[in-house]
Structure 1
């Protein structure tokens, strides 16, 4: 998905087959389990399940074309003796133009292997980019603590 594209709930014609839109997007949500590279795009198009527009359907079709061309991509688990946890976290302050909520994203690696990731809207509206980053880091840290305890057991 083009990262600069702003999807809104108005601005283009209504998509005629809302049921088809929901079926395709629902299927893409399951595909995110093994394809974290599409998580951001799927979370964006999932926000318009109630009343999809033609602009939203164009994004879905673009995502399907991307998947067609990258069938060999997915999560690969490599054998490793490195059991250290690594991670990255980020936030996009006031990313959604309609509700001004920020987006949190993080991923955690066990050695070279990706084991968990997240991309979702924050539950509250942040007043600054620093606050949005702090909330993202707090969510990431909570995941890291849980994984550390799980591995210790």
Structure 2
């Protein structure tokens, strides 16, 4: 019986040692992942600090849904409900932004060195209706009987 107790105690010791080793290894890898995530967050914050933000307005207030596009690319952003936007790419001096909204003239803005904010005030196009609208009869839908 003593031989069996010795074998059992050795087996228990090996189980405890294995669990301890796996625990130490798993804690080490979790910490390494946390450091990676923290460094990515810092990089993202630095990039976001360099992004151009702004607001698009007209004479009556903010223009929700105005389009802001980097000329010559497909990179752009749409203004939010308050007319505010944050451009998704870091812009360089001399880049040209096109700001447009239906019913308004498209405006070009050349980015200046270290520019962080852009206030855009759009003015309306002169929209003239050409011709006349004539209605001879009232429209009625044609429904099929079932």
TM-score range, shorter chain: under 0.3
* Structure of higher CA gyration radius: 2
Normalized per residue, the structure richer in helix is 1
TM normalised by structure 1 equals: 0.20
Normalized per residue, the structure richer in strand is 2
